[in-house]
Chains A and B, each alone.
Chain A
């Protein structure tokens, strides 16, 4: 069964690769490229799920990276060089993430990568980038173990789940007055890690944990589990996972008559959750997010306007992809040698970076020392910022 599955995924991946090559080829052969031929080309990768159920979140992320790259090229900060973006689809599948990583490191023009999205994809891919000495900045993977592998090539902008989970638990106990809750996770590196961190802190705060069960990514029917949860009457259902399963859980819970609010992490903090679950089913859902409301941050205003003019509604991860790409581009700009080693050295020596999402200061593990967690709540069909999670 797994071999058939892998075969299918490969075909979809190779198709998207072909399309990507076709697009790149199309760009290169545009007329008026006389001066472009003399430009040297530097590539940066953007690896995320670009097809499949999580595609929206990956597309949001890579569009942020795309805008950073285009602004960089337009600014002419690096004379004689054009930066290109190489998008890689990992289909939220660890095996595909490894394939994507291998393709990126095999192209000598690629000096760094923004990605991946899921922690379960970032983990195996980070070993390949480390082996190739290539800088990797993840904007979204939040599992704390990722930075404990001792890879000098690994950086992340997002706060980690050992901060996000407990802060969510404190919010549930202090602000929502939750007495008993049920925990669900999607059994992935991210989902389980976050749910475990949440559960541990919730139990320490005296909240009764009625149970903790896993579901499978890609499954659609969660009625058996929810039917089991209903008579336990939890005050809150916590879900460690991503929005495709999150939205189905919400719809099915409401259809069964479960009225307890849901809470989750950054994986469900996206307007796509509301679109898929419907405004009625998702109303009152809480989500922790590794940042605040981008639409209210003055430093992000110009980006938000430009993004929404071009792509429509701002994705929850677009600004983080944009910031991560700008950090990498700054390292490319300041590097003495425009090589992978040069970029990595520049990354390690840049003391801090002020992006549109806030300041980014990497510690020696590559984690961002600025670990802010905000709370969002679905109110009237919109994801509304509530405040810092405490």
Chain B
């Protein structure tokens, strides 16, 4: 493998890896607080892509121009994140909260039900076919090597937005009162509630945050691949879940790192071995990590940290 191919595979892997990271955060945040695997989370990501498609259609098909990245994209991102946050919070309120004290399996099954529901709602609203996702701005490629390896402005944008959002989330959880309450809840929910923390509100805001991240991931995914379909949430959700487990589920920096590692490893696996095994490779990594480090790469022995 030449250096050129190596650089290009790194760029590709990092790009999809950042999108995995954004989705993985939602799995990890919810698991950290509720020990619940929110299997509807992949669908929230898909809803984000369709929300972006919707607002784009609503504002009229704008001609792709360089200024869109500055003015229009933030609007699309904020709208999609808001829609996803609302959907995520609603799912928590109506599907998970009534089952808060039910056996662990019950909310897991509700999660699968919710994911069917969301898929079918989107299918009925937007149709069953692949939808073309518009380019918001012209794609330019910047060379990074002598042999034609390059990085596009879209890839730079995906990296910037992802890193920005993840840094923001990290600071929020470290430095705000709400973040402190989340950390308290993940340490001990009963004790936190005895200290006067409104647990329902904190759980709702956790869903809100995680879903907003997935919504941003959905927009970036749509921009990058240019087609979206109502069942796109499934595979992306499974990959992101793998990334969350890889990094140590419940661990926020772990989810970020897990996504990027998975994206890059998957790319190199496909390049070195064969692209036929690309998806298999992702799940083989998961199994190996679980065998060697059952709590993930960055997970502590007792997985209770947010």
A22 to chain B minimum Cβ distance, whole angstroms, is 12
Interface residues of A (CB under 8 A from B): 1, 4-5, 7-8, 11-12, 15, 50-53, 55-56, 59, 187, 213-216, 218-225, 227-228, 230-231, 244, 247-248, 251, 255-257, 272, 275-278
Residues of chain A within 8 A (CB-CB) of B221 are 220
Residue contact A220 to B232, C-beta cutoff 8 Å: yes
B130 to chain A minimum Cβ distance, whole angstroms, is 5
Interface residues of B (CB under 8 A from A): 2, 4-5, 8-9, 12-13, 16, 112, 115-116, 119-120, 123, 127-130, 132, 135, 139, 141, 147-148, 150, 152, 221, 225-227, 229-232, 234-235, 238, 266-271, 274-276, 278-279, 283
Residue contact B227 to A248, C-beta cutoff 8 Å: yes
A46 to chain B minimum Cβ distance, whole angstroms, is 15
A72 to chain B minimum Cβ distance, whole angstroms, is 27
Residues of chain B within 8 A (CB-CB) of A15 are 120
In this complex, what residue of B is CB-closest to A11?
B116
Do A219 and B139 contact each other (CB < 8 Å), given the known contacts A51-B123, A224-B9, A256-B8?
no
Residues of chain A within 8 A (CB-CB) of B235 are 218-220
B264 to chain A minimum Cβ distance, whole angstroms, is 10
Residues of chain A within 8 A (CB-CB) of B16 are 221, 223
A289 to chain B minimum Cβ distance, whole angstroms, is 20
Q: Which 9 interchain pairs have the tightest Cβ spacing?
A: A224-B270, A51-B128, A214-B276, A225-B275, A223-B12, A55-B128, A55-B129, A224-B267, A56-B129
A216-B276, A218-B235, A230-B148 are known contacts; what are 17 more A-B pairs with Cβ within 8 Å? A5-B234, A7-B112, A11-B116, A12-B119, A50-B128, A51-B128, A55-B130, A215-B275, A216-B279, A224-B266, A224-B269, A227-B9, A230-B5, A244-B130, A251-B226, A276-B130, A278-B132
Residue contact B274 to A52, C-beta cutoff 8 Å: no
Residues of chain A within 8 A (CB-CB) of B226 are 248, 251, 276-278
B54 to chain A minimum Cβ distance, whole angstroms, is 18
Please name 10 pairs of A and B residues whose Cβ atoms are closer than 8 Å in the assembled complex, sorted by A: A1-B283, A53-B229, A53-B231, A214-B276, A220-B227, A223-B267, A224-B12, A231-B4, A257-B141, A276-B226
Complex: A51 Cα to B127 Cα, angstroms:
8
A49 to chain B minimum Cβ distance, whole angstroms, is 9
Residues of chain B within 8 A (CB-CB) of A255 are 139, 141, 152
Residue contact A231 to B132, C-beta cutoff 8 Å: no
Residue contact A214 to B150, C-beta cutoff 8 Å: no
B150 to chain A minimum Cβ distance, whole angstroms, is 7
Which residue of A7, A51, A214 is within 8 Å of B274 (Cβ)?
A214
Residues of chain A within 8 A (CB-CB) of B9 are 223-224, 227
Complex: A107 Cα to B16 Cα, angstroms:
47
Residues of chain A within 8 A (CB-CB) of B230 are 51
Complex: A221 Cα to B270 Cα, angstroms:
11
In this complex, what residue of B is CB-closest to A281?
B226
Complex: A55 Cα to B135 Cα, angstroms:
23
Q: Output the residue of A11, A59, A248, A278 with the most chain B CB within 10 A.
A: A11
Residue contact B275 to A213, C-beta cutoff 8 Å: yes
Which residue of B5, B148, B152 is within 8 Å of A228 (Cβ)?
B5
Residues of chain B within 8 A (CB-CB) of A248 are 225-227
Residue contact B238 to A219, C-beta cutoff 8 Å: no
Do A224 and B115 contact each other (CB < 8 Å), given the known contacts A231-B147, A276-B130?
no
Residues of chain A within 8 A (CB-CB) of B229 are 52-53, 244
